[in-house]
Amino acid sequence: MVDRLGRERLLELALAGTPDRALASLTAASPEDQADLALLREELATLALAAPAVEPPKRLRERLLATRPRPRGPRRPVLVVLDMINDYLTPGRPLEVPRAREVVPAVKERITWARDRHVPVIYVCDAHEPDDEDFRDWPRHAVLGTEGADVWPEIAPSPGDHVVHKRTYSAFTGSSFGPLLDELHADQLILTGCATEIGMFATAKDALERGYVVTIPPDCQAGMSAVAEQVTLVTLAALAPFEPRYLRA
């Protein structure tokens, strides 16, 4: 059972200027808190509209208008398909992610959407040498040159797509992923694949710290359990990109 924040605490947070993404994260596990938050916002808006308008001093108005950021958002997305390989999707293999097979149709639709709109598609896949030290801690998997390291056939890369190999959790670590994003002038990652609480979380966190906007379509991600997915998605929803790339000159 999830402990509720309650109406009074939600009002305190709202009046303190808590960002919307943080409030969404805090109330994600409680439908009652979500309903209370929506009602509080309506009541606060009604109260604000009922108050008499106050004209700000001229100097304050000029300063606020001068510093107001232009309303902008990311304009150069890329679609990332993470670790949707045979060794993770084939039943019975040591590191199988059973839920990943369930999201294949949605990932396939998203890939088609991206290609139709000329959004770059990047496959990032685990890939290990036969003697990789990673096998001291994990079962043997995704060995270069074996079919286990290949992308699941139903969503295999097409000419024009990009394929990046990685050895560890994050797509950025020891790979060509970061330089490729720079080459594509990307400012947003639409992240799909598995496993949500491991590779997807590590990649999303690193991307946010590098200034990328990260979007994870819920129907295009798969973790080891529904609970792990929810916790990861709620956590990431509370994080904003650091010094967003779309605001950089």
Segment 53-81, tens digit of pLDDT: 777 788 877 777 777 666 578 999 999 99
Instruction: Enumerate the H helices of the chain as residue ranges.
Output: 7-15, 20-27, 31-50, 58-67, 86-89, 98-102, 104-116, 177-183, 201-209, 226-237
Nearest to 107 by CA among 241, 234, 99, 187: 99
On whether the CB atoms of residues 236 and 210 are closer than 8 A, the answer is: no
DSSP 143: B
Q: Cα–Cα distance between 125 and 147 in angstroms, integer? A: 12
Q: Please give the model's pTM, rounded to 2 decimal places.
A: 0.80
Residue 243: its pLDDT value, please?
A: 94
DSSP 193: E
DSSP 199: I
Three-class SS state of 221:
strand
Residue 55: its pLDDT value, please?
A: 79
Structure token digits, residue 3: 């402990």
Compute the CA torsion angle 107, 152, 173, 215 (nearest 10 deg): 0
Q: Cα–Cα distance between 209 and 26 in angstroms, integer? A: 21
Q: Cα–Cα distance between 170 and 21 in angstroms, integer? A: 24
Q: How many CB atoms lie within 10 A of CB 212?
A: 25
Please give the biggest Cα pair distance in the chain. 73
Intervals of the chain under pLDDT 70: 1-2, 68-71, 249
Residue 206: its pLDDT value, please?
A: 98
Torsional sign, CA 110, 120, 145, 216 = negative
Residue 61: its pLDDT value, please?
A: 75
Three-class SS state of 180:
helix
Phi, psi of 193, rounded to the nearest 5 degrees: 125, -145
Bridge partners, residue 190, by sequence: 79, 215
Structure token digits, residue 208: 């946010």
